[in-house]
Structure 1
Amino acid sequence: MPRKHPPRPQQSSSKGHAPMLRIIGGEWRSRRVPFPDIEGLRPTPDRVRETLFNWLQNTTPGARCLDLFAGSGALGLEALSRGAASVTFVDQSPEVAKQLQNNLNTLKSQRGEVIATSAMTWLEGRQTDNEPRYDLVFLDPPFRKDMLPVICELLESKNLLADNAVIYIEAESEIKQLLLPSNWQPHREKTAGQVTYRLLYREAIADTDQTL
């Protein structure tokens, strides 16, 4: 699903050409790949990704990752470049999914899986206790759709998270409290303009919901 964010500065592009995403670290450092020129689709900015993956430097290598609402694939591709074992990219836009697969082919990566469906449909179709469990999850849903509480509950109820999974969330900064599973403990948080970036650690034993 293309991310309906507040406008961000567009990545490098020229008239008549697709905008480009720059991978900023790891194996593919400084490589550029295109993403569809769709309204509201903006990669997580370079400086935010740099900060995030500094936070995740001990988590990403070898991690099984899930990039819901994948969009440009900025977060999942960055994770693969930095040594993630695998990334599942989920996005409901066929155009986005096709470009993500093309980019994986260009990068000669066999560690990415692209699924063209909505995050909600994909989550609801998971079979509890019969699915891979993810070590690192990126959640960047469309803004002002109030999707996060349901998405987070499904990740827990479908048993899709490793015992000590790490979850990254982007949300509009006017939301001061997020309804999240109580075993998701806040670790880092930063606000840049209209977006707040949160990193949470999951504890193995779930409890009742609480607000953050």
Structure 2
Amino acid sequence: MKGVFFLITSLLFISVTGLYAQDEDKVLYTRAGFKFGANYANITGDIKDTDARVRMHLGAVIEFPVSQRFFVQAEVLYSAQGYKFKEEGIENKISLNYLTLPIIAKYYFTDKFSLETGPQIATLANAAESGKDTPDEFFDSFKNFDFSWNLGAGYKLESGLFFQLRYNLGLTNINDLDTPDINFNHSVTQLSVGYLFKTKNNRRQNEEF
């Protein structure tokens, strides 16, 4: 009985070691591409009774390999965010559009699925409201800088096509009015599709992590 157990254990060890060795022999690529998708955007904090808006994001991405399972993805995105609320029975849509720079750590727990997290900095590109002509003072009522944290998951095919689901938690009070005791932050869920190009010129052999 002990001999059978030892034989099975040895075979399992050899199989796992073989799979690991094959995985370590894979060529790693730095791959650049693009992504776009939908934002489900709202704000949280002291301002109540707001509703989410479905908007969009798009931009360029580049994925750097660190090891066979660990990658870093840097992005430059245009992200349309905001919220809506009713004022005297009239719906007012607030548009807050940003240029964002997420730096995302990606851990591939399988060949295709990854868990992702990382910081994001953003600068306000423009602000508008649908209920009336937007004065310059409206733009000045929001801070130009925003810092947030991303949590999510991804699925990438060998071809370079990928999908991502991500939650962006705002950590900066974006209120820049004369009432600093009022705090509100961005809350954005993103669903993205993108493509990473793969060329022979940007590949490198695996290095020790």
Q: Specify which structure has the higher proportion of strand.
A: 2
Q: TM-score range by the shorter chain?
A: under 0.3
**Larger Rg computed on CA atoms:** 2
Comparing both chains, which one has the higher relative contact order based on Cα–Cα distances under 8 Å and sequence gaps of 6 or more?
2
Higher helix residue share: 1
- TM-score between both structures, scaled by the size of structure 1: 0.23
How high is the TM-score relative to the length of structure 2?
A: 0.23
